[in-house]
Amino acid sequence: MSADQNMLQTDELVEAARALSASQISDALAELGLPSHSMDGILTLDLAAKVVGRAFTVTCLPAAESEGKRIEYLGDIPAGAVVVISNGGRTDCSVWGGQRTLAARQRGAVGSIVDGAFRDVPEHIALSYPVFARKPVVVGSRGYANPVHTQEPVVMSNLTVHPGDLIVGDASGVVVVPADRAPEVIGIATREAAAESRIAAAVAAGMDFFEAKTLAAQ
């Protein structure tokens, strides 16, 4: 497969995933025997928010362990990426704020997932930029935590994320689709979503739910 064909397939998968919920993706992951739980404790304050894209990973370490190693990665974020930041679940400082959202949005990022805390909530909402994290906090990262490298596997709460994995998050939680299994997962989830839509339409038309479910399965 050529690079152009691979990019087309990637774009098509991301577009298809946008029509699906995190719960539908989870069901498809489970059907294939893949980790189907969401990132424990990592949620959005904006219940209308949704994020779908490929992972751009960032690792943060405590300042005491990373003095002199702080990097700036915002200029490296590719368009369409979900910025996935591992900060060990710390909630005493933010590693994502309004200025980072401003820069990331300008570069075409579609959202951020933080295993830790974030700040400047109104600014993210005003820019329609989804942020999923453990909690909001007002304290910045200086003197507390430093980003030290990018595009390496990270552990986010209870899930491992590799660069390029497909991330889907909504008010129910954030799930991770391994890049090499994404076509299978999205295919199953799309099929099941269509069945759910047929059930909903039949019930809206007056059919009994269980009858509609039986017919949708045929």
**192: CB partners within 8 A, 6+ apart:** 24, 27, 28
Q: Are strands 81-94 and 51-62 parallel, antiparallel or unpaired?
A: parallel
**Quick one: pLDDT at residue 216?**
78
The rounded percent of the chain whose pLDDT value lies above 70 is: 95
Q: Are strands 81-94 and 111-118 parallel, antiparallel or unpaired?
A: parallel
**Quick one: pLDDT at residue 10?**
63
pLDDT, mean of residues 100-109: 97
pLDDT at 161 over 70: yes
Q: How confident is the model at residue 160 (pLDDT cuts 50, 70, 90)?
A: very high
CA separation for the pair 32, 30 (Å, rounded): 5
DSSP β-bridge partners for residue 58: 85, 150
pLDDT at 217 over 90: no
Q: Are strands 43-44 and 81-94 parallel, antiparallel or unpaired?
A: unpaired
Express each pLDDT in 88-99 by its tens digit. 999 999 999 999
Q: How confident is the model at residue 36 (pLDDT cuts 50, 70, 90)?
A: very high
pLDDT at 150 over 60: yes
Express each pLDDT in 39-89 by its tens digit. 999 999 999 999 999 999 999 999 999 988 999 999 999 999 999 999 999
pLDDT at 188 over 60: yes
pLDDT at 2 over 60: no
Put simply, whether the predicted model's pTM sits higher than 0.75 gets the answer: yes
**Quick one: pLDDT at residue 3?**
35
Bigger pLDDT: 53 or 5?
53
Class of domain 3-217 as given by CATH: alpha beta
pLDDT, mean of residues 190-211: 94
The amino acid at residue 45 is L
pLDDT at 18 over 80: yes
